[in-house]
Amino acid sequence: MISPVIVVHGGAWDIPNELVKGHLKGCREAALKGMEILKRGGKALDAVESSVNSMEDNDVFDAGVGSFLNAEGEVEMDAIIMDGGTLEFGAVAAVKNIKNPISLARAVMEKTEHVMLVGEGANKFAVKIGFKTCRTEDLIVRRELERFKEIKKKLKFETREVFTDEHLGTVGAVAMDLNGNLAAGTSTGGVPNKMPGRVGDTAIVGCGAYADNCSGAVSTTGWGESIMKVTLAKTTCMFLEEGFNAQEAAEKAVKHLEKRVGGYGGVIVVDSKGNIGLAYNTPRMAYAYIDGEGKLHLGV
């Protein structure tokens, strides 16, 4: 008998003490939402989508509502979802006016013959299928507007800085269902002050997420430009294939990110046997998981 498991993260960065509570609460809610589906016999894919939706709707995190603003004050988001049974995935990048980009990514997977849509094309697709859109203002929270104004006062702003001393909160989830199927998903508003059109690791398969029933499911967070160079999610799966356990694979992948390209970030993992792993080299990463015994764990 297979026991379902779920792991979620709320971003790898230097989460200040006053924001820890909100992050833990958001991660806890997201993990419980996903587990509710898994316990009823629902698919890992549905659980991952539901957990990520819950964090996209929570303005504490940098995904959906609460996303960072780009250099022009717009909100452009990236998301991916992947089914470990079929290796089907769907992704959207630099998409605007969408509250739940991961659900649009799933629609790309299920309703098109493509795997990824970006920018205007992704938004046109959303309208065509009657996907709920929103105004940019509906995605912007005061915290991010103030951050935008602060950044604009600075003479120089480097993306790398934000992963050591700024506030981020990309979200992601990985799950195993009662049938032993795996899924992974990740959703983000990206990084503050990014150039319009900038796409990070999140929506790129093998970078922001990867799921294969033969190895494991992985969702990543961190400095996208570094994560892409080492295809962090797929690299983590590769370590699983080499025989490392979920925790070892997570640690090895993050170490590789740091050593090879001086990157920052974190990963969450469920392997093909339902074992859980997580690692990060940022000061903190918010996470929650419910293990095979049904026990909830929270951490930052």
Q: CA nearest 77: which of 200, 168, 166, 172?
A: 200
Q: In the range 232-251, which residues lie near ligand ASP by CB under 6 A?
A: none
**257 lies in the binding site for ligand ASP (CB under 6 A):** no
Contact residue for ligand ASP among 221, 235, 236, 275 (CB under 6 A): 221
**185 lies in the binding site for ligand ASP (CB under 6 A):** no
**200 lies in the binding site for ligand ASP (CB under 6 A):** yes
Q: What burial letters (b/e) apply to 190-205, b meaning 16+ CB within 10 Å?
A: bbbbbeeebbbbbbbb
**Which C-beta is closer to ligand ASP: that of 220 or that of 272?**
220
Does the annotation count 170 as an active-site position?
A: yes
**Which residue out of 170, 202, 221, 236 is catalytically annotated?**
170
Return the range that interacts with ligand ASP (CB under 6 A); candidates 15-23, 79-87, 197-205, 241-249: 197-205
**26 lies in the binding site for ligand ASP (CB under 6 A):** no
Outline where DSSP puts E strands in the chain: 5-13, 77-83, 89-95, 116-118, 171-176, 182-188, 209-212, 216-222, 265-271, 276-280, 284-290, 296-299
Q: In the range 61-90, which residues lie near ligand ASP by CB under 6 A?
A: 62
**Which C-beta is closer to ligand ASP: that of 11 or that of 277?**
11
* CB contact set of 146 (below 8 Å; sequence gap of 6+): none
Pair of tokens at residue 242: 């080499």
Q: Which residues pair with 183 in a beta bridge?
A: 83, 175
Q: How far apart are CA 255 and CA 263, in angstroms?
A: 9
Q: How far apart are CA 200 and CA 102, in angstroms?
A: 15
Contact residue for ligand ASP among 50, 170, 231, 282 (CB under 6 A): 170
**Smallest separation (angstroms) from ligand ASP to the CB of 202:** 5
Within 10 Å of residue 110's Cβ, how many Cβ atoms? 12
**191 lies in the binding site for ligand ASP (CB under 6 A):** yes
**224 lies in the binding site for ligand ASP (CB under 6 A):** yes
Q: Which residues are catalytic?
A: 170
Binding residues for ligand ASP, per CB under 6 A?
11, 62, 168, 170, 188, 190-191, 200-202, 221-222, 224
